[in-house]
Amino acid sequence: MRAITYEKFGPAREVLRLQEIDSPAPGPGEVRVRLALSGVNPSDVKARAGTRPGVTKPAFPLIVPHSDGAGEIEAVGAGVDPARIGQGVWIWNGQWQRSHGTAASHITLPAQQAVPLPNGVDFDVGASLGIPGLTACHAVFGGGDVAGETVLVQGGAGTVGRLAVQLAKWGGARVIATCSAADRDRVVAAGADAVFDYGAGDLAAQVLDANDGMPVGTVVEVEFGLNIAADTALIAANGRLAAYGSAQMMEPTLSFGPLLFKAVTIDIILIYLLRPAQRARAIDRLHHALADGALDCPTERILPLAETAAAHEAVEKGGRNGAILVDCQG
């Protein structure tokens, strides 16, 4: 099969290469998927660059990157229903703790990691559901239903944040979001009831004013370290702070007392490690939201497999309005 590989960390154009490698036959409980599209996420870029804390070399001699993707099952192993052959699927954890991910023409993996695509959902949407979709869904609903509550989405213009805005609104919440002034219209279009500049000095006061002076029940947080003081002021008693990122401040300082006396739950999310029941609930909610037409998952750019380095660079650059995907058959 054709695959993008790397053997050492470094800049995308220096370490990524296109080559032919073996396509493993599916073993017991496995499926082989002919991939249509592979999703490129910030975590894939950081893994290839070697910027994960404490990681000095790749975990395997040869890495095929990327965790997300979508395609069609073309073969099944023992114990898997042969009726699944020809089924359109989306992939989660394609390269998590495994050497071979989705930046290839094919992937062989456990059958449960190839989720049937809902009717009418295209491969480009499917390739965005693994990391961004599941992260947003668990961040919003990991503490239960949000109907009638207020959800604050810090960073509503990012890929996860935009999905979180849509999911919270679909779930019946009042949604307040933050973003840059340049992105405000996009976040409003995603369904946010109120949108504020994340850099405002009086952000907490603006959010409280927009929520009739009441604190918020759930905070979805992209920059935990930078925003913990504002989140502490804004969150309600017994509230939940769902943090999936803290890139700009990886060693945050927080005041324990105010969080203690609000009995705040801090939920640090690493979507790769969701328990099976949690993942099943998130998948079910995502599929229901898609069926209800509540999710728009835009694609900014699709590049051929041979140009995966350019796809990595596009994700590194930031400021995109949609997914960066790789055409696995192109």
122 and 141 share a domain? no
Residue 224 inside a domain? The answer is yes
DSSP reduced 3-state for 142? coil
CB 153 within 8 A of CB 176: yes
Residue 209 inside a domain? The answer is yes
239 and 305 share a domain? no
Q: Which two tokens stand for residue 160?
A: 């996860």
Q: What is the pLDDT of residue 211?
A: 97
Residue 286 inside a domain? The answer is no
Total structural domains within the chain: 2
Question: What is the C-alpha radius of gyration for the chain, rounded to an integer number of angstroms?
Answer: 20
Q: Distance between CA atoms of 256 and 114, rounded to whole angstroms?
A: 41
Residue 101 inside a domain? The answer is yes
Residue 301 inside a domain? The answer is yes
Residue 148 inside a domain? The answer is yes
Q: Which two tokens stand for residue 166?
A: 């849509």
Q: Which two tokens stand for residue 21?
A: 């490698």
In the DSSP assignment, the letter for residue 223 is: B
153 and 102 share a domain? no
Residue 204's CB is within 10 A of a number of other CB atoms, namely 17
Q: What is the pLDDT of residue 319?
A: 84
Each residue's pLDDT, cut to its tens digit, for the chain (330 residues) gives 999 999 999 999 999 999 999 999 999 999 999 999 999 999 999 999 998 888 889 999 999 999 999 999 999 999 999 999 999 999 999 999 999 999 999 999 999 999 999 999 999 999 999 999 999 999 999 999 999 999 999 999 999 999 999 999 999 999 999 999 999 999 999 999 999 999 998 999 999 999 999 999 999 999 999 999 999 999 999 999 999 999 999 999 999 999 999 999 999 999 999 999 999 999 999 999 999 999 999 999 999 999 999 999 999 998 888 999 999 999
Half-sphere exposure of residue 235, counting CA atoms within 13 Å on the CB side?
Answer: 27
47 and 149 share a domain? no
117 and 143 share a domain? no
Q: What is the pLDDT of residue 175?
A: 98
47 and 94 share a domain? yes
184 and 209 share a domain? yes
Q: What is the pLDDT of residue 318?
A: 87
Give the CATH number for residue 98.
3.90.180.10
Q: What is the pLDDT of residue 165?
A: 98
150 and 114 share a domain? no
221 and 316 share a domain? no
Strands 88-91 and 114-116: antiparallel
Residue 277 inside a domain? The answer is no
Residue 289 inside a domain? The answer is no
Helices (H), 151-296: 159-170, 184-189, 203-210, 224-234, 256-260, 276-291
Residue 108 is part of which domain span? 2-128+297-327
53 and 175 share a domain? no
112 and 10 share a domain? yes
Q: For tokens 């071979």, what's the residue?
A: 100
